[in-house]
Amino acid sequence: MGLLTSIHYGITILAQNFFLSYNKEAMEIKKRKISIIGSTGSIGRQALEVIEKLGDKFKIIALAGGNNVELLKKQAEKYQPEFVSCNSHPELVSGSHNAKILTGMAGLEQICSNKENDIILVACSGKVGLRPTLTAIKNGIDIALANKETLVMAGDIVMSEAKKYGVNIIPVDSEHCAIHQCIKDINQVDKLIITASGGPFLHKSVEDMKNATVEQALAHPRWNMGKKITVDSATLMNKGLEIIEAHHLFGFDYDDIDVVVHPQSVVHSAIEYVDGSVIAQLGLPSMHIPIQYAITYPERFEGIKSKSFSFAETARLDFEKPDYEKFPTVKLAYEMGRTGGTATVCMNAANEEAVFAFLDGKIKLYNIYEITKKMCDEHKVIQNPTIDEIFAVDEQIREKTKEYIAKFSY
Ligand SMILES: NC(=O)c1ccc[n+]([C@@H]2O[C@H](COP(=O)([O-])OP(=O)(O)OC[C@H]3O[C@@H](n4cnc5c(N)ncnc54)[C@H](OP(=O)(O)O)[C@@H]3O)[C@@H](O)[C@H]2O)c1
């Protein structure tokens, strides 16, 4: 090899190496950095499946669970995040990973204030999601929101903070995700139409519902979810919570949010435009799709889709009016939503405690509504509450509900 040839060869190799490392860096820069609050739950686990399927599209910064430290440890070992957080026994999360181990609300707050994140999936259950969501918003981090309680408790505050900090809140709940996908120009939309599967007691008698066992209430015909939301789906309170969630997410009056029962769970929700056009979003009932939509928004990828949707195989789509006599929770949610202020905080807290009591065998399924209604009737609503007032009401109502249930006989 002559001198000139070898200089040329050397330059070529250098340029190739530079290009390779530059491209690698560019690829890393393009990776979306994500943290998951509630990674050990139903939504959290499915989100990890989606991320895995999407290959190199994501870098996981942090994973947070509650008490399932065994699973959290396994997740940390598999996905090698920078941080993990749990609610108890942090010593059990140590393993073959280098993640810094955090605990409790302080851990969740630390994860959500890490500006390295492009997006945070809030997939924990209950009121735990509210503070971390607000922290992420204040740090300008986009939110993929599964935790509906966050908006039911403090929708006004959360949405106005998101606006102030220019943060996107992308819904994971399949109905809201559907509406998000249908809306082109929100100013031209007249009405939101939220579909409800009707749960396991749709065509059962009120008597059957009253005497339902925990097992029957947890046997949802379409969706495999966490226990709390599954019981809410059996009483239709889940739809009530979703009406309130939709009101905050899309800024619609309660009069312009309709519910229709659709047992097949193929039409995930719809919107009606001012000119009468109705646009619906359809798909097989799988949470992978809305989770993927929310964490990859505004892009779309092939991802985890198991098979193509077929109208012919779906064969029929049924719709019916909800029976508000049999499922009075929906009426209660409309009422509390219209009342505003801490009315929805009260409803959410009382319902959650009653659901836990039902799961513990202390009350019957139908008592959940009766107890929640009683707490709502007796609650003195605070309008425009602060976050501290919201948490104080939440605590008071939980205590009051537990005391009431302790003396309750059915
Ligand atoms: N599942 C669905 O298909 C679905 C659909 C739409 C919306 N959502 C909403 O998404 C949320 C999660 O539902 P899910 O069905 O996934 O519930 P889930 O299976 O019960 O999971 C709840 C998750 O929250 C975690 N968690 C509970 N307390 C915590 C705490 N103090 N700190 C940190 N993490 C805590 C749990 O951790 P451990 O298990 O480790 O204790 C678990 O990871 C709910 O708000 C639900 O309404 C769910």
- What is each CA distance from 271 to 246, 276, 292, in whole angstroms? 12, 10, 21
Looking only at the bridges linking them, the beta strands covering 267-273 and 58-64 are unpaired
Q: Say how many Å lie between the CA of residue 19 and the centre of ligand 1.
A: 44
CATH code (residue 388) = 1.10.1740.10
54 and 115 share one domain: yes
Judge if 333 and 208 occupy the same domain.
Answer: yes
Question: What pLDDT is attached to residue 29?
Answer: 54
Distance CA 240, CA 154 (A): 15
Element (H, E) at 31: none
Residue 87 near residue 103 (C-beta atoms within 8 A): yes
Residue 390 belongs to a domain: yes
Instruction: Please indicate whether residue 148, judged by its CB atom, sits closer than 6 Å to ligand 1.
Output: yes
Same domain, 123 and 165: yes
Task: Report yes or no on 179 lying in a domain.
Answer: yes
Q: Indicate if 96 and 227 belong to the same structural domain.
A: no
Looking at the structure, tell me whether residues 205 and 324 fall in a common domain.
Answer: yes
Q: Is 144 in the pocket of ligand 1 (CB under 6 A)?
A: no
**What is the whole-number distance in angstroms between the Cα of residue 203 and the centre of ligand 1?**
28
Q: Is residue 3 part of a domain?
A: no
pLDDT, block means (10 residues), the chain with 410 residues: 45 45 50 98 97 95 98 98 97 96 98 98 96 98 98 98 98 98 97 96 90 92 88 96 98 98 97 98 95 97 84 92 95 98 98 97 95 98 98 98 89
Say how many residues make up the chain: 410
Q: Is 128 in the pocket of ligand 1 (CB under 6 A)?
A: yes
125 lines ligand 1 (CB under 6 A): yes
Measured between alpha carbons, how far is 317 from 314 in angstroms, rounded to an integer? 8
Residue 11 lies in a domain: no
Residue 236, Ramachandran bin (φ over 0: left; ψ between -120 and 50: alpha; else beta): left
Q: Are residues 193 and 262 in the same domain?
A: yes
Q: Residue 238 Cα, ligand 1 centroid: separation in angstroms? A: 14
Domains: count for the chain = 3
If asked whether residues 229 and 256 sit together in one domain, one would say: yes
**For residue 85, what are its two tokens?**
């957080």
Shortest CA distance to 152 belongs to which of 348, 400, 327, 18?
348
Please check whether residues 182 and 329 belong to one and the same domain. Answer: yes
Q: How many Å lie between the centroid of ligand 1 and the Cα of residue 367?
A: 24
41 lines ligand 1 (CB under 6 A): yes
Ligand 1 pocket: which of 108, 121, 125, 233 to mutate (most atoms within 8 A of CB): 125
Last residue of a domain, one of 141, 171, 201: 171
Residue 235 is assigned to a structural domain of this protein: yes
Q: Is the CB of 149 under 6 A from ligand 1?
A: yes
**In this predicted structure, what is the pLDDT of residue 39?**
98
Evaluate: CB of 146 within 6 angstroms of ligand 1: yes
| Whether 140 and 36 share a structural domain | yes
**d(C-alpha 267, C-alpha 260), whole Å:** 10
| Rounded distance between C-alpha atoms, residue 120 and residue 141, angstroms | 7
**b (16+ CB within 10 A) / e for 108-123:** bbbbbebeebbbbbbb
What is the distance in A from the centroid of ligand 1 to the CA of 36? 11
Ligand 1, atom 34, residue with closest C-alpha:
66
* CA-closest residue to ligand 1 atom 33: 66
For residue 409, the model assigns a pLDDT of 72
State how far the Cα of 11 lies from the Cα of 19, in Å rounded to an integer: 12
pLDDT score, position 27: 47
Ligand 1 pocket residue status of 67, Cβ below 6 Å: yes
Check whether residue 324 and residue 368 sit in a common domain: no
Q: Clarify whether residues 327 and 380 are in a common domain.
A: no
For residue 102, the enclosing domain spans: 30-171
What's the pLDDT at 30? 77
